[in-house]
Amino acid sequence: MSRSYNLATLSCFVAQGLAVVLGFAVLTVWPPRRGEYLLVPVGRDATASLLPIAVAEHALLIGAGPLPNSYVVRGDRSLLASVMMSHGIILLAASGVACGSSDGAA
């Protein structure tokens, strides 16, 4: 009986640890309401449509992103999110570290 109890306890600790790590990972890349975003094309024809769509939705181009064909823009999540997802473009929070800045500023 004590062995199954220990296994159940260990399973709970592992599950809680994974939930905490996953929670921090999601919060790290969750885009803020307004700010800088990393736009990553993943859909077919997404690369060609990424910049025209971003500009049409009033996003300001900051520069190239760290991933192939990705860009960092400044804008409003409410304008960008649904349009980008419908065209196969993922919208992520653009932190300075994730986007290649060594001082933490994007």
Q: Where are the domains of the chain?
A: 1-30, 34-93
Q: Which residue has the tokens 């190239």?
A: 64
Coarse DSSP helix, strand, coil percentages of the chain, rounded to the nearest 5 percent: 45, 25, 30
Q: Rounded distance, CA 67 to CA 3, Å?
A: 47
pTM over 0.85: no
Average of pLDDT values for 59-80? 90
**Furthest CA-CA distance within the chain:** 64
**Would you say 62 and 17 are in contact if contact means Cβ atoms under 8 Å apart?**
no
What is the separation, in whole angstroms, between the first and last Cα of the chain?
54
- Domain 34-93 bears CATH identifier 3.40.1830.10: no
- For the ranges 11-20, 30-39, 70-79, 97-106, which has the lowest average pLDDT? 97-106
